[in-house]
A and B are shown apart, each in its own frame.
Chain A
């Protein structure tokens, strides 16, 4: 009896697999695989844009005005073949998307990095120290949250442009938009990190570290911060997608990147003027790429959150 118990006992704790369930989830979920593939393709396209593009859409000399409004998959007046058509300037939509994607991804990554750099340390300190600093920071965050992100970004954008000398405005537009989006988004990080720190700092492992006399900086960076990675990563991916959309919105509103250095948003803005005159391709293709980018980043980010949680491994 006891012998048989020992042999074929199937413990519930035996469910812990040696192979990671995250990998299994990846292998199982078609959706995540497709999203990851799409994201990889888009990132590759971003990196290799100059190689893949048919011409440099930022170089006015390479544009042929005679080819304006060439429909997709057809030959222009000259030698050029336009797989996705040409816009009102005779710019190849396919090449413009590649370069526009580059701008969008760059703005997204930089804006997320900026809001991370501001939001995470503020959230850590506010959550750990509490007191007046916490109260002050959270009230500032509350006030900022009452304004829509785009409005805050517009405000920052407007002020920054006002401060810059006229000749530099177009050159600095990229950085201004990064600062505008980054500054309008730090609140999310600060609030989430603060909440998570307040939970973590109650835990006994923090007490154990205090007991052996570790400094507050060491406890914050070595003990608490690694436990914040999962929520930070999730917000980062979601706000990366947000940042790209926000940039597109700003560009669409005409306050973002100039038409000479178009992002996906700029292309969409250009395209929508021709939507009702039959030149649908100028709007549709950049929009589809934007959609694919935002969606795949979100899906992969969701999956990554589980992958980074050691409890699920």
Chain B
């Protein structure tokens, strides 16, 4: 079956094509068709996972070379090893749950079919990203998930906040991808191949200078920073919650944002070769994690709290991977690789569940603001129960899956005191803000009676995925129990797990930290023995800072967006003044020149034409007096002409009357005659007038 693993991403693509081109108007059919395809993918992933376990996690690789230069090849291929098999399970499981859930959540949406088409396209891209066997291919799918993320965040594009959020997400992640692209170029130049194995071999061979390896690692990490919403590019993820909740669950909690973690895990061999780059990764991870957890403490939007929680947990994973690279580069033992990928898996389960349950709540009360909720556990039994299970899991309470993975991360940080302290603080904050959310949403008195009255438990298509994910949130972590001999670690390290002794002390400390966080939240928000308002007013500056998310958006607005806008405005001015000026000037000159030509036409050309006409009219006006209308006058005229013509035949002694001369004489005579006739006519008219005057 592993040979057919390439079909796993292609099935959702098939669903996308079919839905877009033929099932668009049949909403139910398109939804169930998409679900059928992802379920088949899920079944295949299960088989692939079993087969990979059977091979003890040995990688299977198959590829097709589609561009071949003399010493450089581009491939399309699949690589199935332990990491891939686990990611396939994560993506297909969450994907199937989300798609089923969406039938209930997106009911009555006018773009119902399109939503499933986009989800299928996303699943294709994400699964393709997971099975890719080289950096070139992973980059293509990397951009494809970015595109589908853009489409789905902006799914309700008529809402301005959603349209802005999708642009923000796309542009911010693209900033990170620019770094990834530079990293890709460097890999191509220095390694001569994009294939994972080939790149790792050439890095391990030591042929590439250490500085270049560090640069490659950091540039590749840039891509992960953008996609996994790490500091300083984390600003897009909370805004991405403008998308429908299933999208937030699938893309912005469980899978796509984990792609950055996956990329770092996948290229771990590069980070292992560079302690500096690994340290950068670890620091970015811990800073992100702390910052996001602290912001989540004071937010009031249920989805934004979960979004900051996601950023924080992703920072956790990144930190674990960075510490692993750092320790391994210094030849120390570290559990970070296992911890990061293990937490990625368990986090996908419980964070997916948290988002779907939050979606169920939003579906019931039609608001995101937790201040307007409260007491919902009376009405939404399944939702509240599953939500609390996921919260316990993320808080790291024994024996839920979050406990095991978080414990591994704490164990990773154990050798670095600063990291250990911060990690525990983050764990405390995580437990606190999750149970603040739980108590405010599901317990206490309803704060908005109207919304409470209209709340109801969601339909079965929405609650069943919750139950499935709740099951996974409890048990998914059990594969990584440290005392298990053939568990997660054994699988990930291909049957040769490193020696690792679990530490009782750390486990107990982590549990105490988690429980104390929950206890504080219980005291403040359930028992109300400690006033939240009082704490808020005591630490007013900190509260304001956190509530405004450390002013990151405002800083970016001032430092990046405003200068770009100013530059754009300057360019616009240049356009308007100089370029438009030149164009308008040309037009003005043309008009002027046309005016000159018009004048010339009117006065010179038309003047010549009219002048000719005028001359002829005047001349004719004179000649018309020859026509007196009297027959005898005409006869006289004829007689005179005959005589004149006769004269041409006669030679007188003094002169020869030739034709030209005769013509001149004739014309002169004609003119004379005309003048005489005119005078006569004028006189006759005068006489007639006189007569009429006399008569009157």
Partners in one complex: no
The interface of chain A, by Cβ under 8 A from chain B, is none
The interface of chain B, by Cβ under 8 A from chain A, is none
